[in-house]
Amino acid sequence: MDESPKQDFLSLAQKNLVVRNIVQALEDRNDFLLVAHENPDEDCVASMAAFGLLVRKFNKRAAVLVCSPIPEQFRFLLEICHYNAIEVRNSCPDSRSEFSTLVILDTPKPSMLEHDPELQKMLKDPRVLKIEIDHHLSADSVFSGDPGYRLVSEASATCELIGYLGFKIDADKELLHRHQMEDLFTRNLVLAILTGILGDTKMGAYLKNRKERWYYKWFSDRFEMLLKQKTFKGTGNFSSKEDVFQAIASLSADESACYNFLRERERLGAHVRYAALSYEESGVMNHRFGPETVAGVSKALADHLAESSGFLGLVGYDDDPKVSPFVQFRLRRSQVFTQLDLRSVLETLGITNGGGHPGAVGFRFERFHVPDILALAQSLVDKIECLVVKALEEGSAEKIF
């Protein structure tokens, strides 16, 4: 497997060539196993559901591999899979004999994929075609897919790229006729794509530059329009961006308790609100709520801390040792503070195990390198504060000149 650093396309022609290759694979191949990163978020699950629906449009077999528990708020995406004859698997026993094609979605690098021994064999098997669709272009991201089948580009979410692929398919009337596709963008496909875009960007809050915001608005507006067209009035089903986002952002009773447990450790810096747990406190939290709840709630709290500070929010804790050997951190940026690309924070601090988007990054350290989580959190906050001040000063200088 060629694990070269990820880079964006040099031209639109290159991008569209990869799209044509992927469409050809959908026509020529018969079975597709869809995989994504561990501890899946909205865009991760939504991209698997969305691509699975495209596979089914070609009347081919599709299965999604989900080893980690899925948060309650977007389990409806798995119900969409079940309803559309997309298999949902918890492991892939000897999948090389079942699937000729592996589709890797929303995953910055192979080491972040679900940990399954058979999946690792498939990644190394040259007989298995590896298609990759992803929008992570951080410094340490590397390709997982085969050359010519890597739809990896700057986008608000992986689901935006799947939406782009869908529009290309929908524009090819001969292709639609050949496969008898009367309605490519069904309500379920539209809902899956919109869920991924809204969830990953928090309705556009994490986008920094004008180009990202323009593409986010273009894609989200069109899929919202399609959703409204395909939703019967009076059914109570999602019919707008706000409906979808409210559903995926809500917390269960257990998640609310976990959220409050973390918030009790909140601290306030000049520009960074943060909550960090010691090893002992992390152990209590993991035991009470479980690692999947902790992972989802930590992101929600980082969002809240960022908006409360008007600048940045940081959450740090120790993973359940039975699940991983890492101390985890989530860093988020407020909607009103756009001067700092958080991916540059990782580069400046020399953090290689992490990645994300301009407004949201996650990173981790191996546990044996961190004797004291609280001391590490304070050190990180001090360094990040300096970067925020520098970004603000540079922004003021630009306005003057």
Mean pLDDT of 357-378: 93
Backbone angles phi, psi at 264, to 5 degrees: -65, -20
Six-digit token pair at 66?
């989900």
CA atoms within 13 A on the CB side of 378: 6
Q: What is the DSSP string of 270-282?
A: SSEEEEE--HHHH
Amino acid identity, position 242: E
| Range with top average pLDDT, 3-7, 271-275, 323-327 | 271-275
Straight-line distance from the first to the last Cα atom of the chain, in angstroms, rounded to the nearest whole number = 49
Six-digit token pair at 147?
């050359």
Give the separation between CA 187 and CA 208, rounded to whole angstroms: 30
The residues that bridge with 274 in the sheet, in sequence order, are 267, 314
Residue 230's CB is within 10 A of a number of other CB atoms, namely 17
CB crowding 205-219: b at 16 or more within 10 Å, else e: bbbbeeebeebbeeb
Q: What is the DSSP string of 128-182?
A: SEEEEEE----TT-B--SPTT-EEE---S-HHHHHHHHHHHHHH-HHHHHHTT-S
Six-digit token pair at 257?
């308790």
Mean pLDDT, the chain, rounded, equals: 89
Q: pLDDT tier at 397 (50, 70, 90 boundaries)?
A: very low
Residue of higher predicted confidence among 21 and 202: 21
pLDDT of 400 > 60? The answer is no
Backbone angles phi, psi at 267, to 5 degrees: -130, 155
* Residue of 243, 201, 197 lying closest to 220 (CA atoms): 197
Residue 86's CB is within 10 A of a number of other CB atoms, namely 22
Give the separation between CA 314 and CA 294, rounded to whole angstroms: 14
Residue 183's CB is within 10 A of a number of other CB atoms, namely 11
Q: Running DSSP on this structure, what letter comes out for residue 5? A: B
Q: pLDDT tens digits, residue range 97-142?
A: 689 999 999 998 888 888 788 888 899 999 999 999 999 887 678 8
pLDDT computed for residue 379 by the predictor:
97
pTM of the complete model: 0.74
Six-digit token pair at 208?
């920094």
pLDDT > 90 fraction of the chain, expressed in percent and rounded = 58
pLDDT of 45 > 70? The answer is yes
pLDDT of 3 > 60? The answer is yes
The residues that bridge with 328 in the sheet, in sequence order, are 317, 364
* Residue of 245, 247, 218 lying closest to 155 (CA atoms): 218
Q: Running DSSP on this structure, what letter comes out for residue 74? A: G
User: Vertex 97, ends 117 and 22: CA angle to 5°?
Assistant: 90
Q: pLDDT tens digits, residue range 322-350?
A: 888 999 999 999 988 988 999 899 999 99
Q: pLDDT tens digits, residue range 346-366?
A: 999 999 888 887 888 999 999
Give the separation between CA 5 and CA 86, rounded to whole angstroms: 32
Q: pLDDT tier at 399 (50, 70, 90 boundaries)?
A: very low
Give the separation between CA 36 and CA 53, rounded to whole angstroms: 16
Six-digit token pair at 104?
């890797």
Q: Which CATH number fits domain 253-400: 3.10.310.30, 3.30.230.10, 3.30.2010.10, 3.40.50.720?
A: 3.10.310.30
pLDDT computed for residue 267 by the predictor:
93
Give the separation between CA 158 and CA 140, rounded to whole angstroms: 18
CATH H-level superfamily of 12-248: inorganic pyrophosphatase (n-terminal core) (3.90.1640.10)
Q: pLDDT tier at 236 (50, 70, 90 boundaries)?
A: low
Specify the length of the chain in residues. Answer: 401
Domain boundaries along the sequence of the chain: 12-248, 253-400
pLDDT of 39 > 70? The answer is yes
Q: pLDDT tens digits, residue range 69-82?
A: 787 788 889 989 99
Q: Running DSSP on this structure, what letter comes out for residue 341? A: -
Radius of gyration of the chain (CA): 21
